[in-house]
């Protein structure tokens, strides 16, 4: 069966510090991978998605970046965090098919920028 992992679960970082969140998927190959952010009282916002190694698409301009160094690894990074980067970050995966309807979400990372 497939599983998705995210770490860390919670993170408190000062403004201006770097960020690295990691997501890994097990039990499937060549998945589509996604990073979402959920701000308090807001819906999920798609930040990045990837259809393959080294292929990253950005949905919104921001000071965050994403990388996919391996087939089942997706990393969200920032060189300098802003207060507005606080939120709940979710990684998700889906099968490599436009007819795949289901996205499976990880447990999330709660990021607080102070």
Partner 1 sequence: KNQVEQSPQSLIILEGKNCTLQCNYTVSPFSNLRWYKQDTGRGPVSLTIMTFSENTKSNGRYTATLDADTKQSSLHITASQLSDSASYICVVTAYGGATNKLIFGTGTLLAVQP
| In the block, residue with structure tokens 């000071």 | 63
Q: Least distance from C-beta 112 to partner 1, angstroms?
A: 13
42 burial via Cβ count (<10 Å: 0-12, 13-18, 19+): exposed
- Residue 79 is a binding residue for partner 1 (CB under 8 A): no
Residues 21-40 that bind partner 1 (CB under 8 A): 32
- Residue 51 is a binding residue for partner 1 (CB under 8 A): yes
H-only helix segments in the chain: none
Q: Which of 35, 48, 49, 93 binds partner 1 (CB under 8 A)?
A: 49
- Residue 102 is a binding residue for partner 1 (CB under 8 A): yes
Q: Whose CA is closest to 103, among 112, 113, 93?
A: 93
| CA distance linking residue 63 with residue 10, whole number of Å | 20
The helix/strand/coil state of 40 is coil
Q: Which is nearer to partner 1, 12 or 15 (CB)?
A: 12
Note the residues at the interface with partner 1 (CB under 8 A). Answer: 32, 41-46, 49, 51, 88, 90, 92, 94, 98, 100-108, 110
């Amino acid at each position: 069966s497939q599983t998705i992992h995210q770490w860390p679960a919670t993170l408190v970082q000062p403004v201006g510090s770097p960020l690295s969140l990691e997501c890994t998927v097990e039990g499937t190959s060549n998945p589509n991978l996604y990073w979402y952010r959920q701000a308090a009282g807001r819906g999920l916002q798609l930040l990045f998605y990837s259809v393959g190694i080294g292929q990253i698409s950005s949905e919104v301009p921001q000071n965050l970046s994403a990388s996919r160094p391996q087939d089942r690894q997706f990393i969200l990074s920032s060189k300098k965090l802003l207060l507005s980067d606080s939120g709940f970050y979710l990684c998700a995966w889906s099968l490599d098919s436009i007819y795949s309807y289901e996205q499976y979400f990880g447990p999330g990372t709660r990021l607080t920028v102070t």
